[in-house]
Structure 1
């Protein structure tokens, strides 16, 4: 992930140097070239590429908080995969919305 970011920043830096050393270029143009072609797009790409890692960190934090809350309430849970929580805590649809009933003949 970081290799692409570093490579593109390098390319944008070289473009900025070419802009600054050009006879018709300026330092202001070089700064804008580096910011608009390098820093701004790569910050967006880095944010998008870092989304899965942020999600994993949030889920791990929520799991640790849930485990701490269970421990504070004195509830022991030996199974880490399935924890006892209130129904629809995660806004999931129930598996059977209507309880099936048989009709008597």
Structure 2
């Protein structure tokens, strides 16, 4: 995930540098290029790709809050663990 973001940022930075150093280019154009081709798409990409991690953290916090409120550890199915059986 981060490799794509780093590569995208590098390309956007090079585009902005080419805009700034071009005889017809301006620093304002370079800033707009960096913003519209780099920062905004990268921010959106990182937000979308980070969604599963945020969801896992939220569920872990909810499980921890349930464990604190009840005084018991969460059951095995809530953590993805198989329930243990006692043999008679």
Structures share fold, TM-score greater than 0.5: yes
Displacement of 1:80 in angstroms is 2.6
Per-residue deviation at 1:82?
4.8
Find 1:81's aligned residue among 70, 73, 76: 76
Write 1 or 2 for the structure with the bigger share of helix: 2
TM-score, length basis structure 1? 0.70
Q: Output aligned runs, 1:42-53, within 5 Å.
A: 42-53=42-53
Q: Who wins on radius of gyration, i.e. which is larger?
A: 1
15 and 82 in structure 1: CA distance in 2 versus 1, 3 angstrom threshold: closer
Q: Unpaired runs of 5+ in structure 2?
A: 79-88
Q: Which residue of 1 aligns with 2:63?
A: 63
1:97 — aligned with what?
none
- Whether 1:10 aligns to 2:10 is yes
Counterpart position of 1:23 = 23
Post-superposition Cα deviations, 1:21-43, rounded to whole Å, max 9, x if no partner, equal 00000000000000000000010
Pairing of 1:29-44 with structure 2 (within 5 A): 29-44=29-44
Q: Deviations over 1:15-66 (max 9, x none)?
A: 0000000000000000000000000001000000000000000000000000
The count of residues paired between Structure 1 and Structure 2 equals 78
Q: What is the TM-score of this pair, normalised by structure 2?
A: 0.83
Q: Which runs of 5+ in 1 are unaligned?
A: 84-105
